[in-house]
Amino acid sequence: MSECAVQRDSCCREPAELKIVAFLCNWCSYAGADKAGGSALPVPPELSVVRVMCSGRVEPTLVLETLRQGADGVMVLACHPGDCHYKEGNFRALCRAELLERLVVQLGVDPVRFCFDYVSAAEGEKFSRITCEFAARLRQLPPIG
């Protein structure tokens, strides 16, 4: 718990002001997020999880719209390569993420605001860590829009 608390102390914005949306695939990342809960690991309260069946479901426009709606940052979390419940959805997601990372720069958005990563059903600790780190990075940025 301390990790988040420390980061929050050092940040320049109040937690309530921050808005983060995380798209989690049902089979790995969502289960990993549940695992973080089971282990009582900290997750930033500003994070709102949107469950999708597969990370391959998240089209780039959905991420861009989420930013336009006022999210300070968007995460897309997938199964590790080779572990996708739908065989290759996470590879599609990876390709789209690489495209997005370049696209947001063109739109004048700091690429820090978008995060693609892998979280397995066992990685509650990783889920906690990367969400806290992402929130900490976002707090260093001015409000979006």
Indicate whether 73 belongs to the interface with other proteins (CB under 8 A): no
Taking residue 141's Cβ as centre, other Cβ atoms within 10 Å add up to: 15
Q: In what order do the strands lie in the sheet with 20-25?
A: 47-52, 20-25, 73-78, 114-118
Among 15, 111, 143, 145, binds other proteins (CB under 8 A): 15
β-strands 73-78, 47-52 pairing: unpaired
Side chain identity at residue 22, one-letter code: A
> Among residue numbers 79 through 138, which ones bind other proteins (CB under 8 A)?
85-89, 92, 96, 128
Of 12 and 16, CB closest to other proteins: 16
Binding track, positions 26-65, relative to other proteins; x by CB under 8 A: x---xx-xx-xxx-xxxx-xx-xxxxxxx-xxxx--x--x
Nearest to 117 by CA among 103, 105, 104, 132: 132
The residue among 59 and 98 lying less far from other proteins, judged by its C-beta, is 59
Q: How far apart are the first and last CA of the chain?
A: 31
Residues of this chain that bind other proteins (CB under 8 A): 1, 4-5, 15-16, 19, 21, 26, 30-31, 33-34, 36-38, 40-43, 45-46, 48-54, 56-59, 62, 65-66, 69-71, 85-89, 92, 96, 128
